[in-house]
A and B are shown apart, each in its own frame.
Chain A
Amino acid sequence: MTHLFAADLVKAEPLWRAIDQPVVLKALVATVGVLLIAWELWWFLGRHGGGVAARDGEAGVQDITITVDGGYAPSRIKVKAGRPLRLAFHRIDPSGCVAQVIFPDFHKTLDLPLDATTTLELPPTEAGSYPFHCGMNMVRGVLEVVD
């Protein structure tokens, strides 16, 4: 099959011409490609650390500061169930996409001015996983509420 395609390609424009590459090079490209795919999937989809726990602030309120720069740092936040939470977003990324942060489960939208810290207070909640994301739904984070 390989040869069939290659033969077809030769007939096409010069750009599409097939080149006989040494087997070693082919093997090398294939190996590097597979490794790259594996690394890339691990980097973007794998779990990296178990998330950052919120601090215990005054009057039982849990506090955490999140830096908005290309993503949310930290993006996985661990909080305790049944206690109020105060999130402080510090936005340093000028991209318009992250100018809003949305907590769909709480029906909350927060506008984040650039180079400023904006806080959002959330009521105590039950254990569970509550995602949040930017206005365009591309940058995401998650609140992990545990008992």
Chain B
Amino acid sequence: MERELARERTLLRRKVSVAAVLTVLVMFSSLPHMLGLHSLAFLPLWFSSPWTQLILTTPVLFWCGRDFFTGAVSALRQHSADMNTLVAAGTGIAYLTSLFTTLFPQVLIAEGLPADVYYETVAVILTLVLLGRLLEARARGQTSEAIRLLLQLQPPTARVLREGQPVDVPVSLVVVGDLVQVRPGEKLPVDGVVEEGSSWVEESMLTGEPTPVAKAPGDAVIGASMNRSGSFTFRVSRVGGDTVLAQIVELVRQAQSSRTQVQRLADQVVGWFVPVVIALAIAAFVVWFLVSGNPVLAMLFLVSVLVIACPCALGLATPTSIMVASGKGAENGLIFRSAEALETAGKLRTVVLDKTGTLTRGQPEVTDFERLNGGGLPARTLLALTAAIESRSEHPLAEAIVTYARSQLKDGALPAVEGFEAVAGRGVQGSIAGQQVRVGTPRWFEELGIDTAALKPLVERLEAAACSVAAVVVDGRIEACFGVADPLKASSAAAVAALRRLGLQVVMLSGDARRTAEVVAAQVGIERVIAEVRPADKASVIRKLQEQGEGPVAMVGDGINDAPALAQADVGIAMGTGTDVAIAASDITLISGNLAGVPAAIELSRAAMANIRQNLFFAFAYNVAGIPIAAGLLFPLTGWLLSPMIAGGAMAFSSVSVVSNALRLRNFRPKPLPVAAS
């Protein structure tokens, strides 16, 4: 594909050069006539003959401009009309008229008209349109640069251990389960898990995160990241199309293939555009013939209308901006799933942030363990009971409690649990050696009618410190209570400030108790908190915000637990972990899991949409203004008349300017995060 495009561009460049040389000669040849002189001293008389111009122009039309004509004919057969149709019809008509004048000048002279030829017009139009096409092809190549750069990130070979010996093999031959060695300064070929050794790895090319990440045995590593200091060996977990890099490339490609709502409108216009322009051109001919009776004048207006119209500018207006913007996103670790995601993200008014895993690290730690009930049960027994029952739960708080209990008990055996049951949003229960054990929220125990008076002061203290509280009830008596806190991510407060600077309303959504949630919200500078929301209700909270007219609403959460809420939101933004592209329900994926990506994505969307609006405005305004001028509408009023040559030049450069404007997006840089006031 690449090679084919390169060959095509070489041929195009050759055609432009030949056309340019011949056109300059034709221009010189027509110079005496243009200046209203019979001849110029430095040019021989034969050089200014229409026959010389005919000989010079014919190759421009039939060799350089051949594709316009073959394209126009095959399009005509398919009942479609495009750019080629307009250029071929415009230059073809001017050429045939000139040919007629060259062969039978007496016909015009008899009518009292000058026997003028318009070969230079034909040559200039074709040269300019070809040049425009060449510039546009070059610029369009740059719009897809991002994908090409991403694909180049993967090194061609990997050092695989085969029977204990390192062997360099092409990446395509690496299979899952292979052991791959990486030395300092080398790029990782595929995804895997570190087996031996440790190092710092730079993942910025994929995640946009500038700081290198420490890797030790058991840590996941991704292909295309750069090993900085140490050497290590990793076991391959994903190859080929399954790697993070391949998935990113595929997502960017998909986004670039989709279209925005604005584009749908522009597409409908483009479908009608060329036939309508042809109709206007014929109408211009008829009207000017009726008004002036001058067929040559009418022909010039016809040609001008045909060659000034530029449906290409309309067709290119949005796709080029989308190409550049989604590529730019990928460079910053922001993956847009579709053009519509880009479009909607620019219009957002409310951003809902999930607390756990989004604002916080999502790895809670036990900060407090308090025994109640006057020390009814020994601490070790309580920890063992709690750990046994919590080890069956998948809740992140449970994991923290089990880790804590195991570190205190220092012995692995936990008692067996019977009749385990998880009560969503409340807690877990089961029986151990005949004792009924429940671990859950104080609210659940209130609902069950258990006396929680002893718990109250403790809960207040813990919640004020932004801890979540899990109480332990054995046989209907409160026995102990855990305070679990989830530390904030370093960038959370600054990212929230950046979102507010963008004029967005920021809402925090949390399953925690109101007081705990409010403490966290205050730490990051969020005023509006929706707390005590069970996972299943997150989607309906989003729906309520949308119904209250606070939309479009974005939901930022992790791609798995928050999937329904992400799908309900106008824009679902999933926080990746850097090693896994969790994208199921999201419109935008932040590969790094850094919240700073949210304001960056919104800024990029706004920049892209502004760029698209400029392009569409320019393309529409250009055609709407250009066509009437070319049709001679202003001539009776102002005497303005557009030479077909200028019309051709204007057309060629209108699509070049649309593409160049889209390329300006390559300079996009997200604003640095503000220093958060905490």
Contact = CB atoms under 8 A, between A and B. Distances in A.
A41 B296 CA distance: 25
B155 interface: no
Interface string B60-98: 000000010011111111111111000000000000000
A26 B257 contact: no
B77 A2 contact: no
Interface stretch (B16-24, B156-164, B286-294, B388-396): B286-294
B257 A33 contact: no
Interface stretch (B106-114, B216-224, B537-545): B106-114
A104 B282 contact: no
A113 B293 contact: no
B79 A111 contact: no
B266 to A, nearest CB: 8
B428 interface: no
B178 interface: no
B1 A17 contact: no
Contacts of A34: 286
- Of residues B82, B114, B255, B276, which shows the largest number of chain A Cβ atoms within 10 Å of its Cβ? B82
B531 interface: no
Interface of A: 2, 5-6, 8-9, 14-21, 26, 29-30, 33-34, 36-37, 40-41, 43-46, 48, 69-73, 75, 93-96, 99, 102-104, 106-109, 111, 113-114, 131, 133, 136-140
A117 B272 CA distance: 30
B258 interface: yes
A106 B256 CA distance: 11
B253 interface: yes
A113 to B, nearest CB: 7
Interface stretch (B203-211, B308-316, B554-562, B569-577): B308-316
A61 to B, nearest CB: 22
B275 interface: yes
B210 to A, nearest CB: 31
15 contacts: A5-B292, A8-B636, A9-B297, A15-B114, A15-B116, A15-B296, A19-B111, A29-B286, A41-B279, A70-B78, A75-B78, A99-B5, A107-B257, A107-B337, A137-B315
Interface of B: 1, 4-5, 8, 67, 70-83, 111-114, 116, 137, 253-259, 263, 267, 270-272, 274-276, 278-279, 282-283, 285-286, 289-294, 296-297, 311-312, 315-316, 319, 337-339, 636
Contact of A36 (B67, B274, B282, B297): B282
Given A41-B275, A108-B254, A71 B78 contact: yes
B137 A15 contact: no
Contact of A16 (B70, B294, B311, B337): B294
Contacts of B72: 70
B271 A33 contact: no
Q: Which 6 A-B pairs have the closest CB atoms?
A: A70-B74, A71-B78, A137-B315, A33-B286, A21-B293, A44-B275
B270 A137 contact: yes
Given A6-B293, A33-B286, A131 B267 contact: yes
A33 B636 CA distance: 22
Contacts of B73: 70
Nearest to B255: A107
Contacts of B1: 99, 111, 113
Is the contact region of chain B dominated by helix, strand, or loop, or is it mixed? Answer: helix
Contact of A2 (B8, B257, B282, B290): B290
B74 A104 contact: no
A17 B83 contact: no
A96 B8 CA distance: 7
A21 B275 contact: no
A71 B293 contact: no
Nearest to A103: B257
A114 B297 contact: no
Residue among B5, B257, B267, B315 having the largest count of chain A Cβ atoms under 10 Å: B257
Contacts of B254: 107-108
Contacts of A17: 112-113, 292, 294
Contacts of A18: 291-294
B291 A2 contact: yes
Contacts of B253: 109
Nearest to A9: B292
Nearest to A75: B78
Contacts of B78: 69-73, 75
A40 B74 contact: no
A133 B433 CA distance: 69
Given A21-B293, A37-B283, A107-B255, A70 B112 contact: no
A55 B515 CA distance: 64
Contacts of A45: 272, 275
